[in-house]
Amino acid sequence: MATLETTGPAEAAPSEEGVRRRDFINIAAVSFAGVGAAAVALPLINQMNPSADVLALASIEVDVSQIQPGQAIKTIFRKQPLFVRHLTPQEIKEADAVPLDSLRDPQTLEERTKAGKTQWLITMGVCTHLGCVPLGAAEGEVKGEFGGYFCPCHGSHYDTAARIRKGPAPTNLEVPEYNFTSDTVVQVG
Amino acid sequence: MVRPIGFLVGLGFVGVLLWSLLWGAVAYVKEPPVPTAEHEFHEHPKKVDFSFNGPLGKFDRGQLQRGFQVYKEVCAACHSLRLVTFRDLQGIGYTEGQTKTLASEWAVETPTINEETGEPATRKSIPADRIPAPFANEIAARAGNAGALPPDLSLIAKARHDGSNYVYSLLTGYQNQPAELLKQFPDSKTGAGLHYNPYFANLNLAMAPPLTSEGQVSYSDGTKPTVDQMSKDVAAFLTWTAEPKLENRHSTGLAVLAFLLIFTVLTYMAYQNIWRDKKH
Amino acid sequence: MSFPWAEQYAPKHPFMRYMDEKLPLPRLVYNAIGAGYPVPRNLNYFWNFGVLAGAALAIQLITGIVLAMHYAANGAVAFDSVEHIMRDVNSGWMLRYAHANGASMFFIVVYLHIFRGLYYGSYKAPREMVWLLGLVIFLLMMATAFMGYVLPWGQMSFWGAKVITGLFGAIPLVGEPIQTWLLGGFAPDNAALNRFFSLHYLLPFVILGVVILHIWALHIPGSSNPTGVDVKGPQDTVPFHPYYTAKDGFGLGVFLIIFAALLFFAPNLLGHPDNYIPANPLSTPAHIVPEWYFWPFYAILRAFTVDFILPAKLWGVVAMFASILLLFFLPWLDKSPVRSGSYRPTFRKFFWLLMIDVAILGYCGGAPAEEPFVMISQIAAAYYFAHFLIIIPIISRIERPLPLPNSITEAVLSKSGKTTGEAALAPAE
C-alpha cells in the first residue's frame, strides 16, 4: 500500500530529460494562456475604431452645379464642415500673384486644386490652429484681410486659396482627398 | 430559536401551497381546461436543409440574392427592413456599384426635408441609407392593410421560434381550414379578411398568401421560381438580415474552439505534471 | 494563511522587498491565491467553481464596459443601439453575445458552486460568514442580471421590467408608491431604463467588493474539503500555487470551451425570440418568462393561486423572497456536526430529492402558467420549503452519520490504496 513517504519527491526523482519535458508543458500552457489573452485583447481594442455606419459616410458626393462664381457652400464631411468655393477669375489672379516664399506654408493654388478645375477650391472648414470653423464661406461673413477665410477664435486670416497669411494657424486649410466624377459632381473622401 | 420559527414558517408555506393545490385540483376536476383550436392545430415549422445550418454552415450567395429579389418584388410592398442598409447588401455579393444602383432605383425614396422650404420631401437613396419603409409610419401601414400591421422583417428570423424554418413554413403553409377543426371548434371559423395557416401562432393571419404562382419572380440565374423555391430563398435572405455576421461567427468559433482544445489539453498535462508526486 | 506551516513570502529582488515594505500587495496576493495559502490536498473538481465564478465576473465586467461604449439608454434608441452593436461595431456581435451568454455561464457556475456548498456542508461553522457573503453576491447577481435583461428594450425586457417591478405592488399600502418610485413613472420608460443602466453598471463593482470579502472570510478558516474533516497538519494541505492554480487552469479551459460553443454556435439558445421584437407597451407577449436562471423562483412566485388571509399575489412575492432568504439561516437550521454529505446517508437522499425538486421548479417556471404545471410547481414549492425549514432540522438531529476518516491524508490514501474505502474507514469508528 502506498504511503505518503513513498509517493514523495524521492519516488518521482526525475531524470534530467524528464525535468525539461515536464517544464516544457507548464511553460507551453502558460504561453498559450498569454497568446489567448492577447488574441482576446484585439477585438476589445478594435471595437473603439469607427464602426461600419460611420465609415459608410466617410465618402460623400457633392453637387456643385448650383454654386455661382464668388459663392461658397458649407457641407458636412466626416462630421466636420467642408467648404466648396467657386473662385472668381479675380480671386484666382490674387492667389496666383502671391510670391511663394512669403507664405508660411508654401503652396500654389494649382497644387491645392485639380488640373483644369482651378476655380473649385475644396477645403476642410477647420482652422489648423485649434479646430474652430473659419468665417467666409456663407454670404455676408467676414472674409478676413486677404479675402478668403477668417477664423474668429484667434484671428487667423486665410487668402483666396485658403492659405494661412496672418495669425497663429501653422498650416493652410486642409484639402481633403477628392475627385470630380463628372463636371458638376465631386466625390470627397 | 431559529429552528422553531423556521419550522412554523415552513409549515405556513407548505400549508398555503397545499391549500392552493387543493383548490386548483378541485377547479381542474370541476372545470377541466378546455382545449383550444390553437393548441390542437398549431404546427411546428417544417425543417428545411438550409446551407447555413450547423456549425460549419455558410450562406449561399446566389440564394440570398434570389431571396432579396423576392423581398424587393413581393414583400417590400408592405414590409419594411429598417435595420438593413443598402451598403449591407455587399454582404450578399453585390458590388459597391450595384448597391449604389439598387439604392438610387429603389421604389420608395428616402424621406428628407426640402432644403428651401423645410417641407417634407424625398430624395434618392445612397448606399449608406437604410432601406426605406413602404409606409411612412405605423398608422399609415395599418391604414393601408385593413388595420393589420405588417411587421418589420429585419429580425424576423430571430424573433420567432425556429425562425428560418418558420418563414418558409408560413409562406408555404396556407391552406383551407381542416373540416375536423370546424367540427371540433365550430366557433373558430377563419374570419373575414383572415387566412388560415397552421404555422401561425393563432392559426389565422391577415396577410394573404404572398407567393401564389410559379414564376411570380423571374430569376436570372436559371433557378426555377417555384413557390417552394421562392419561399426558401426569402427565408434564407431574412436569416441573413437577422444575423448578417453568421459566417464570421462560425469561422471565428471554429478557430477559438481549436485554440481552446489545445489550451485545455496543455493545462491538463501541466496539472497532471504538477500533481504527479501528490496523491489526492 | 491561518496555518503555521504556510509558506512565507520572501521577496528576493530589491524592488520587491521595497514594494513589500511600502505596499505589500504582492504579499497579499501571495497569501490569498499564491503559494502562501495552504489548501486541503483532496479537493475534487467541484472546488473549481469558485475561481470560475471569478473568471465569469471578469468576463462580464470587461465585455460590459466595452458594450457601454456603444449602448444608448433611451427608449427611443436602445433597441437600435443594440442592433448597431450587432451589425456595425467592430466585433460588436461577438462582444454582445459574449456578454449575454456570459451571464448564463456565470449563473451555471454559481449554481454549481452553491450545489457544492450545500452538498459538502461548506455553509457550516466555521465558514458561516463565507456562506452569508456568498448569498449577498447571489442576490446582487440576480438584481444585476434582471436589470441587464431590460437594457436591450425588447418585448421581454419591457414586460419583464413591468412584471418584476409589479411584484412590489403586492406590498400592502406602500406597494404602488414603491413601484412608481422604482420605475420613475407608471410603466417602464426612459426613466426606468436609464436608472437600470446606471445600476447595472454599478452593481457588478459592488459584487466585486463583496467577492473580496467572501475570499477574505474564506481565508480565516481555510477551504473546506470533500470529507468535511478539519485540516490536522502540513501533510493534509498543498500550497494553492502551483497545485490549484494548475487545476483551475484546466477547469478554466473546459469552462471556456463550453462558453465558446454557446457563444459561437448557439448564441440565442438561452434567450427568448420575443426580445428581438422592440418593446411595445400596447401588446403583451403570449407568455412572459424570465431568463432561465430565474425559473425556479418564478415557479414559486406563480405557485400561490388562492387568497388565504393575505392575497395570493402577496404570498407569491413573500415566498419567492423567502425561498432565498431562508438560505441565510441554513447554517443554524442544520445542526449536524458532520459537514460532508458523503458521510450523511439520510441527508444525502433528501439532498438529491431537493436537486430534482429544483429542476422540476425550473421546468415549471419556464412553462406556460397552465395545468398541470401549476399543480406540479405547488407540490415542488412545498417540498422546497419543507426541505430547508422542516426536514433538514429534523434529520440533522436524528441522523446517524457514517464514520469519518481520521484525517484528510488518511482519506486520500485509503481511496488510492488497495483496500476498499469501507474497510479503511473502519478503524476510525
Binding residues of C: 99, 113, 200, 214, 219
Lowest mean pLDDT among A68-77, C108-117, C229-238, C246-255: A68-77
By DSSP bridging, strand B120-123 and strand B204-205 are: unpaired
Are C371 and B18 within 8 A, CB to CB?
Answer: no
Residue A19 to residues A7, B265, B273, Cα–Cα distance (Å): 17, 19, 10
Q: DSSP of C108-153, one letter per residue?
A: HHHHHHHHHHHHTTTTSTT-HHHHHHHHHHHHHHHHHHHHHHHTT-
How would residue B216 be classed by pLDDT, with cut points 50, 70 and 90?
very high
Residue with more model confidence, C45 or C412: C45
* Number of B–C residue contacts, CB under 8 Å: 171
Are B269 and A29 within 8 A, CB to CB?
Answer: yes
By DSSP bridging, strand B195-196 and strand B120-123 are: unpaired
Query: Is C247 known to be catalytic?
Result: yes
Under a CB-based contact definition with an 8 Å cutoff, are residues C69 and A44 in contact?
A: no
Report ipTM for this prediction.
Answer: 0.94
Chain A within 8 Å of C233 (Cβ-Cβ)?
Answer: no
| pLDDT above 70: residue C281 | yes
Question: Cell 526525475 maps to which residue?
Answer: A14
| pLDDT above 50: residue A98 | yes
Are B252 and C385 within 8 A, CB to CB?
Answer: no
Catalytic annotation, pick one of A86, A129, A154, A157: A154
| pLDDT above 70: residue C215 | yes
Under a CB-based contact definition with an 8 Å cutoff, are residues A23 and B273 in contact?
A: no
Q: DSSP of chain B, one letter per residue?
A: -HHHHHHHHHHHHHHHHHHHHHHHHHHHHHSPPPP-HHHHH--PPPP---TT-STT----HHHHHHHHHHHHHTGGGT---TT-BTGGGGGGT--HHHHHHHHHH-SSPEEEE-TTT--EEEE---TTSBPPPSSSSHHHHHHTTTT--PPP-TTTTTSSTTHHHHHHHHHH---PPPHHHHHH-GGGPPPTT-EE-TTSTTSEESSPPS--STTSS--SSS----HHHHHHHHHHHHHHHH-TTHHHHHHHHHHHHHHHHHHHHHHHHHHHHHTTT---
| pLDDT above 90: residue A184 | no
| pLDDT above 60: residue C422 | no
How would residue A117 be classed by pLDDT, with cut points 50, 70 and 90?
confident
Residue with more model confidence, A24 or C364: C364
Locate the chain B residue with the closest alpha carbon to C391: B7
Locate the chain C residue with the closest alpha carbon to A6: C413
Read off the pLDDT of residues A147-173 as tens digits, 9 standing for 90 and up: 899 999 999 999 999 999 999 999 999
Locate the chain B residue with the closest alpha carbon to A12: B277
| pLDDT above 50: residue A14 | no
How would residue A18 be classed by pLDDT, with cut points 50, 70 and 90?
low
Q: What pLDDT does A22 receive?
A: 67
How would residue C419 be classed by pLDDT, with cut points 50, 70 and 90?
very low
One-letter amino acid for residue C165 of the chain: T
Cα–Cα distance, B235 to B242 (Å, whole number): 11
Max distance between CA atoms of chain B, in angstroms, equals 86
Alpha helices in C284-398 (DSSP H): 295-303, 312-325, 330-333, 345-366, 373-386, 392-398
Interface test with B, best of C95, C385, C409 (most B CBs within 10 A): C385
By DSSP bridging, strand A178-180 and strand A185-188 are: antiparallel
Catalytic annotation, pick one of C236, C248, C274, C357: C248
| pLDDT above 60: residue B35 | yes
Taking residues C217-228, report their average pLDDT: 95
Residue whose C-alpha is closest to residue C52's, from C122, C105, C127, C121: C105
Taking residues A132-149, report their average pLDDT: 88
By DSSP bridging, strand C237-239 and strand C38-40 are: antiparallel
How would residue C418 be classed by pLDDT, with cut points 50, 70 and 90?
very low
| pLDDT above 50: residue C426 | no
Taking residues A31-40, report their average pLDDT: 94
Mean pLDDT, rounded, of chain B: 94
Question: Cell 485639380 maps to which residue?
Answer: A114
Are B87 and A32 within 8 A, CB to CB?
Answer: no
| pLDDT above 50: residue C225 | yes
Taking residues C139-162, report their average pLDDT: 96
Residues 393-412 of C with CB under 8 A from A: 409
B78 is in an annotated binding site: yes
CATH number, domain A54-188, options 2.40.128.520, 2.60.120.620, 2.102.10.10, 1.10.490.10: 2.102.10.10
**Domain positions in chain B:** 43-84+130-204+215-244, 246-280
| pLDDT above 60: residue C1 | no
| pLDDT above 90: residue B67 | yes
Cα–Cα distance, A142 to A123 (Å, whole number): 17
Under a CB-based contact definition with an 8 Å cutoff, are residues B279 and A11 in contact?
A: no
Fold of B43-84+130-204+215-244: Cytochrome Bc1 Complex; Chain D, domain 2 (1.10.760)
Taking residues C143-164, report their average pLDDT: 96
Query: Is A86 known to be catalytic?
Result: no
Mean pLDDT, rounded, of chain C: 93
Taking residues C227-237, report their average pLDDT: 94
Chain A within 8 Å of B259 (Cβ-Cβ)?
Answer: yes
Under a CB-based contact definition with an 8 Å cutoff, are residues C337 and C397 in contact?
A: no
Residues 56-115 of C with CB under 8 A from A: 62, 66, 69-70, 84, 87-92, 94-95
| pLDDT above 60: residue A8 | no
One-letter amino acid for residue C161 of the chain: A
Residue whose C-alpha is closest to residue C354's, from C391, C393, C329, C394: C391
How would residue A19 be classed by pLDDT, with cut points 50, 70 and 90?
low
- Which value, to the nearest 10 degrees, does the dihedral of the CA atoms of residues C22, C23, C26, C31 take? 100
Q: What is the share, in percent, of chain B residues with pLDDT greater than 90? A: 85
Chain C contact partners (≥3 CB pairs within 8 A): A, B
How would residue C2 be classed by pLDDT, with cut points 50, 70 and 90?
low
Residue A49 with chain C: CB contacts under 8 Å: 90
The separation between CA A5 and the C-alpha centre of its own chain, rounded to angstroms, equals: 70
- Name the minimum distance, in Å, from the CA of B69 to any CA of chain C: 22
Read off the pLDDT of residues B93-151 as tens digits, 9 standing for 90 and up: 999 999 999 999 999 999 999 878 999 999 999 999 999 999 999 999 999 998 999 99
- Residue C326's CB is within 10 A of a number of other CB atoms, namely 19
Under a CB-based contact definition with an 8 Å cutoff, are residues B216 and B72 in contact?
A: no
Q: What pLDDT does C425 receive?
A: 42
- E strand intervals along C160-271: 237-239
Sheet holding A185-188, edge to edge: A60-63, A185-188, A178-180
Q: What pLDDT does B186 receive?
A: 86
Are C322 and B21 within 8 A, CB to CB?
Answer: no
Q: Could you tell me the pTM of the whole model? A: 0.91
Three cell numbers written together for C185: 413613472
- Name the minimum distance, in Å, from the CA of C250 to any CA of chain A: 9
| pLDDT above 80: residue C389 | yes
One-letter amino acid for residue B248 of the chain: N
Q: The dihedral of CA C157, C163, C166, C168: what is its sign?
A: negative
Residue B273 with chain C: CB contacts under 8 Å: 246
Taking residues B205-223, report their average pLDDT: 94
